[in-house]
Chain A
Amino acid sequence: MLRTTERIGDVVISGVLFSIGLFSILFSCWMPRIQSAVTGPGTFPMLLGILLCVVSLALGVYTLLHRENNKEVEIGHSVAWTIPLAIIVVGVFFERLGFMPMIALFVGFFLKIISNLGWIACLLFAAAAAISAYLFFDLLIGVPLPMGAWL
């Protein structure tokens, strides 16, 4: 669990946004200029990059000048962090393992970390969820779900 203040968070986020703006400006410079057109593909991203740099710099400076915003913020509760990581794992192995095994593993794992249920209950619910989802999405709605590269 990471504890910080809103002020520090605002400064960090404005720094990140500034970097994104700067990256956009630099990347846009590499984009081709079209002789026959007034604006090329890099024109708009460059303008946006400049605006983002200006606004994020203003936000950073404003936050640094106003010292009263020291509200504590807790980020990084272990369960909260696990959710996007687990979803990324699902994305990576979704087509390789197949829909049903992957979803059953995901739901079972997620249930185990946020509830007090035992392993068997988690697995049963996970299996039921995977089967129900397959019936609903693949058979009823017609969303093509992957069977898995191993099949």
Chain B
Amino acid sequence: MMTPENLFYCFIGVLWGTVVGVLPGIGPLGGMVLLLPLTFKMAPTPAIVMIAGIFYGVMYGGSTTSILLNIPGEAASVVTCIDGYQMARKGRAGPALVISALGSWVGGTLSIVALMLFAPPLAQLMLKIGPGEEFALMLLAMVVISYVSSSSKLKTLAMVIFGILISTIGMDLFTGHLRFTFGYLGFADGLGFAPMAIGLFGISEIMLNAENIVSVKVIKPTLKTLLPRWSDLRASAAPIGRGSLIGLLFGFVPGVSHIVSTFVSYAVEKKISKHPEEFGTGRIEGVAGPETANNATTGTSLVPLLVLGIPAMPATAILMSALILHGINPGPQLIQDHPDIFWGLIASMYIGNVMLVILNLPLVGIFVNFLRIPYTYLAPTILLISICGVYGSNSNPVDIIIMAVFGFIGYILRKFRFDLAPLVMALVLGEKIELSFRRSLAISEGNLWIFFKSSFSKIFLTALLIIVLLQIVAWFFGFRINKQNEDS
């Protein structure tokens, strides 16, 4: 990890992640997929290190705009707006930024320690599971993602199935038969994850923003005003500890862990505070806890990906696609077969977190200046990077057209509040789900009992059944309450 090349790409990743986090027009997913095609020419370790750097770098950068502009740079920074911006209005933007960065560093570092501790023994356990259990686990993951999505459950489920269906385009790995290619050999490898993902997130985001371009007023802190008081540091210590624990636990849950963890942390801090009525007016605890929780999910959210091969959130799905594109299969054998990737990633996260504290504190003024760039210049630049990046992956102009088509699809889906994240996760996992399904049936010679035989399968399928039943019950009671309201 300590080679100049790896350190350089780690720096590029965290720098770009911070910029993406600061700029409200690009989300973390858009930021990650934009650089994804550029990693094709790189060796696996620096490529993964860079993409991962964007992932946790965004968590730092997002708080900057939340505090200075009351605009969350990314979804998990929404809660920071509540008290962070109020602190900035009172002339205390500096302490808010410092505590946010320190909390992020503590949460991020502890999450890496948790990743180091939990991943290897869990991987050993997961080596015992076969394709039947793998299929049951991925099915559970997809259902959980549908359940926790912010969009309607039916819409999310439709997106998941649609995504898996799109992943079947191309050559069938078992028989070599071409599916849904309509005679075009360029589709034999499928539609390409990079053009689809950039289209769905990047292009659709620009289309939405182009409808309403606004300029923003920026509160710019100076280096002198950054220093927090001792009372701020004392008041933040316990929230940082609690936020770390909340984030670590939520990181394991597939879905929207980093967003949910920030809301839970804020709710906890408000609940146990001696002055809950002051939350929303500029309490430092309202910034320290959520920002720590946010970053504390980053390490543990990588555990399902690296150990099970199942991304816990959309950002880790992009990381998974980066691994697959470099010929590395995430799952229980990753630590065994590619220890350099696993431990290199962990080392990069330690170093990246330190880089981020340096970038986000003394250099915060530079990042704030990015916000002064008019969107009219930013948008064509992003489009240019998208086109070049997508073309660069395969030197195929059809990929540019695919990106445009998926950009249009993403725009329409977002307009009608369909969640795109489950679609992207399904695109990544689709091939794996089909492989484990068909492998299981091949082993059992068509006997479906293979999916219910082992203890792991029974646990996963029971959990799945409980979630589905809970959802049906919730829907039924919701329907009855609506009917009663209509009748009355």
Q: Which residues does A use to contact B, with CB under 8 Å?
A: 6, 9-10, 13-14, 17, 20-21, 24, 27, 31-32, 34, 37-45, 48-49, 51-52, 55-56, 58-59, 62, 66, 73-75, 77, 79-80, 83-85, 87-88, 90-92, 94-95, 103, 106-107, 110-111, 114-115, 117, 125, 129, 133, 137, 141-145
Q: Give the residues in chain B near A56, CB-CB below 8 Å.
A: 158
Give the distance in Å from the alpha carbon of A40 to the alpha carbon of B446 in the complex. 12
Binary per-residue interface labels of chain B (393-419) against chain A in the complex, 1 for a CB within 8 Å, 0 otherwise = 001011111011101100111011110
Partner of A48 from the list B168, B177, B211, B407 (CB cut-off 8 Å) is B168
| Residues on A with beta carbons closer than 8 Å to the beta carbon of B380 | 106-107, 110-111, 114, 125, 129
Contacts of A110 in B (CB 8 A): 379-380, 383
Q: Which residues on A sit within 8 Å (CB–CB) of B401? A: 87-88, 91-92
Q: With an 8 A cutoff between CB atoms, is B162 at the interface?
A: yes
With a cutoff of 8 Å between Cβ atoms, the chain B residues found around residue A133 in the complex are 384-385, 388
Q: Which residues of A contact B404 (CB under 8 A)?
A: 83-85, 87-88, 91
Q: How far is the CB of B34 from chain A (nearest CB, A)?
A: 13
A-B contact pairs, 17 of them (CB 8 A): A38-B441, A42-B179, A45-B168, A55-B158, A75-B412, A77-B211, A80-B411, A83-B206, A83-B207, A84-B408, A110-B379, A110-B380, A110-B383, A125-B377, A129-B380, A133-B388, A145-B392
Return chain A residues, CB-CB under 8 Å to B415. Answer: 9, 73, 75
CB distance from B434 to the nearest CB of A (A): 5
Instruction: State A45–B395 Cα separation when bound (angstroms).
Output: 29
Question: Is B350 an interface residue, CB under 8 A from the partner?
Answer: no
A87-B392 in contact (CB<8A): no
Known: A34-B175, A38-B442, A80-B210. A20 touches B395 (CB 8 A): no
Q: How far is the CB of B459 from chain A (nearest CB, A)?
A: 23
| Interface size of B as a range | 35 or more
Tell me if A14 and B158 are in contact (CB < 8 A): yes
Known: A13-B412, A39-B442, A40-B175. A55 touches B211 (CB 8 A): no
Q: Do residues B384 and A20 form an inter-chain contact, with CB atoms below 8 A?
A: no
Q: Check B275 for interface membership: any CB of A closer than 8 A.
A: no
B165 touches A24 (CB 8 A): yes
Contact of B207 among A39, A49, A59, A80 (CB under 8 A): A80
Q: Give Cα A83 to B410, complex, Å.
A: 13
Shortest CB-to-CB span from B243 to chain A, Å, is 35
Main DSSP-derived SS at the A contact region: helix
Residue from B154, B172, B442 within 8 A of A59 (CB atoms)? B154
Q: Which residues of A contact B418 (CB under 8 A)?
A: 13
A-B contacts at CB below 8 angstroms, number = 184
Q: Interface majority SS on B: helix, strand, loop or mixed?
A: helix
Report how far A78 CA is from B397 CA in the complex, Å: 25
Q: Which of B133-163 contact A (CB under 8 A)?
A: 152, 154-155, 157-158, 161-162
Residues of A within 8 A of B421 (CB): none
* Minimum Cβ distance to chain A for residue B320 (Å): 20
Which 10 pairs show the lowest CB-CB distances between chains A and B? A91-B400, A143-B392, A87-B404, A41-B172, A91-B401, A115-B376, A9-B416, A41-B177, A84-B404, A80-B207
Chain B residues within 8 Å of A58, by CB: 154
A49 and B165 contact, CB distance less than 8 A:
yes
Q: Is the beta-carbon distance between B213 and A114 smaller than 8 angstroms? A: yes
Interface residues of B in 409-464 (CB under 8 A from A): 411-413, 415-418, 434, 437-438, 441-442, 445-446
Which residues of B sit under 8 angstroms from A129, Cβ to Cβ? 380-381, 384
Cα distance, A34 to B210, chains bound together (Å) = 50
Among the listed A27, A37, A107, which residue makes an inter-chain contact with B174, where contact means beta carbons less than 8 Å apart? A37
CB of A48 within 8 A of CB of B164, answer yes
Chain B, Cβ-Cβ closest to A141: B38
Residue pair A80, B158 in contact (C-beta under 8 Å)? no
User: Of A31, A39, A42, A95, which is within 8 A of B441 by CB?
Assistant: A39
Q: Is B180 an interface residue (CB 8 A)?
A: yes
With both beta carbons as reference points, the residue of chain A lying nearest to B409 in the complex is identified as A84
